[in-house]
């Protein structure tokens, strides 16, 4: 079959593809639309048209309904599998031959008209379509600009909070590497529990910032090597609430605030700051709690050496159902028993 794909040199920037197995219709549309300032591609083979749309950009398609080897509705059905945005106008030899309105809606065909020697009605539909396309392009452009601006603001805020995190780590040698390990352990547990990618990302970021509130704890308490007094311990227990307050004004951190605020809650309701119990504790915070405790027990402190793995494992098992969510504790013990190499990799990375 022959095809006409000559493009005008006086283009208005919009590219139209017409598909009709009658070459006379394609030729007439070519002359008419080029005079109107459109880039034009005419195709007489509907199968070829599908491939052209797949591999080239077109703003609008004019499509005959009754064609060989497939009708126009089947062409649209194939195109909608990979292109949801193409504006499509359907041509029919007679209104009685048009597809049902339900089909037009289902396939997101924007309009149709009967074939005619004159193209006045078609041109009105095309001009209306181009206006819609122009508006959608402008909305898309504005959204992209807003997205870019938001990403820059998000990065600037993230950088600021990272600076605070590094300030905490500079104050407290124990914290250095701790947040990275808690983040990695939390993701490891999340994967064992088959959580979604979004939840894994929240666990990752939440682990990094879970102790950010320690920026508000006096150095005399944070760095004290002797046993803390009851009053000093009470101040330490404020760090989850302080961290949540630091992050609360940024939309980007809304998903991790439950982790930051509640990673010291206990499953039996004896934790802090909210004394939440069981399922009232945010699920991702329950995961971070296990990761946080494991790292605390396996890290060298000023007042003790790192605890042996068998002691740590037994402690987690003993605290299942009291300090820890039993299902999460079980998943972590499974990691210790069967995937300990992953734990060792994390420890070596953030030693």
Q: Give the domain ranges of the chain.
A: 15-141, 172-349
Q: How far apart are CA 65 and CA 46, in angstroms?
A: 10
Please tell me the distance from the alpha carbon of residue 142 to that of residue 114, in angstroms, as a whole number: 36
Spatial CA neighbour of 71 closest among 98, 89, 52, 53: 98
CA distance 91 to 87: 13
* Amino acid 328: pLDDT: 98
Query: Is residue 44 a contact partner of residue 24, using CB atoms and an 8 Å limit?
Result: no
Q: What is the CATH number of domain 172-349?
A: 1.10.3210.10
The correct CATH number of 15-141 out of 3.10.450.50, 3.50.50.60, 3.40.50.2300, 3.40.50.1820 is: 3.40.50.2300
Whole-number pLDDT of residue 96: 64
d(CA 241, CA 257): 9
pLDDT 10s digits, 109-145: 888 787 776 788 888 889 888 988 888 888 788 878 8
* Helices 283-298 and 178-192, packing angle to 10 deg: 130
Q: Which residues pair with 301 in a beta bridge?
A: 304
How far is it, in rounded angstroms, from Cα 111 to Cα 67? Answer: 18
Q: Is 321 left (phi over 0), alpha (psi -120 to 50) or beta?
A: left
Question: For the CA atoms of 54, 59, 63, 68, what is the dihedral angle to 10 degrees?
Answer: -20
According to the model, what pLDDT value does residue 195 have? Answer: 97
d(Cα 173, Cα 309) in Å, to the nearest integer?
22
With beta carbons less than 8 A apart as the criterion, state whether 20 and 53 touch: no
Instruction: Please list, in sequence order, all residues whose beta carbon lies within 8 angstroms of the beta carbon of residue 251, skipping any fewer than 6 positions away.
Output: none
Does the annotation count 237 as an active-site position?
Answer: no
| Alpha-helical regions (H) of 90-119 | 101-106
Question: Tens of pLDDT along the chain (351 residues)?
Answer: 334 443 434 567 899 999 998 899 899 999 989 988 899 999 999 999 999 999 999 999 999 988 889 988 899 999 999 998 899 998 887 666 666 777 777 778 888 787 776 788 888 889 888 988 888 888 788 878 877 887 787 777 778 777 777 777 777 666 668 999 999 999 999 999 999 999 999 999 999 999 988 888 888 888 787 788 888 888 889 999 999 998 887 777 899 999 999 999 999 999 999 999 999 999 999 999 999 999 999 988 766 788 999 999 999 999 999 999 999 999 999 999 999 999 999 999 987
**CB distance 336 to 328 below 8 Å:** no
Q: Alpha-carbon distance 299 to 177, whole Å?
A: 10
Which member of 34, 192, 214, 261 is catalytic? 214
Give residue 215's pLDDT.
84
Whole-model pTM over 0.85: no
């Amino acid at each position: 079959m022959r095809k006409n794909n000559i493009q005008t040199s006086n283009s208005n920037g919009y590219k139209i593809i017409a598909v009709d197995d009658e070459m006379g219709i394609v030729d007439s549309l070519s002359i008419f639309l080029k005079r109107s300032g459109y880039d034009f591609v005419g195709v007489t083979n509907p199968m070829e048209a599908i491939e052209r749309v797949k591999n080239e950009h077109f703003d609008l398609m004019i499509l005959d309904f009754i064609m060989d080897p497939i009708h126009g509705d089947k062409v649209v059905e194939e195109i909608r599998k990979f292109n949801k945005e193409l504006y499509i106008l359907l041509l029919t030899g007679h209104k009685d031959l048009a597809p049902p309105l339900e089909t037009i809606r289902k396939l997101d065909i924007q309009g149709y008209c009967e074939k005619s020697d004159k193209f006045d009605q078609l041109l009105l539909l095309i001009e209306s379509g181009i206006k819609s396309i122009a508006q959608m392009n402008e909305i898309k452009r504005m959204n992209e600009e807003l997205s870019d601006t938001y990403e820059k603001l998000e990065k600037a805020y993230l950088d600021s909070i990272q600076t605070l995190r590094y300030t905490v780590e500079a104050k407290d040698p124990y914290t250095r590497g701790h947040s990275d390990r808690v983040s990695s352990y939390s993701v490891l547990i999340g994967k064992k529990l088959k959580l979604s990618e979004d939840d894994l990302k929240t666990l990752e970021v939440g682990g990094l910032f879970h102790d950010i509130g320690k920026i508000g704890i006096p150095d005399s308490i944070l760095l004290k090597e002797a046993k803390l007094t009851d009053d000093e311990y009470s101040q330490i227990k404020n760090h989850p609430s302080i961290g949540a307050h630091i992050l609360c004004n940024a939309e980007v951190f809304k998903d991790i605030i439950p982790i930051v605020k509640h990673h010291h809650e206990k499953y039996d309701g004896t934790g802090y700051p909210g004394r939440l119990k069981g399922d009232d504790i945010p699920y991702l915070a329950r995961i971070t709690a296990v990761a946080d405790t494991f790292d605390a027990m396996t890290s060298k402190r000023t007042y003790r050496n790192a605890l042996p793995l068998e002691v740590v494992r037994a402690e987690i098992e003993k605290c299942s159902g009291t300090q820890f969510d039993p299902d999460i504790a079980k998943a972590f013990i499974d990691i210790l028993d069967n995937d300990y190499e992953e734990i060792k990799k994390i420890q070596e990375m953030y030693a």
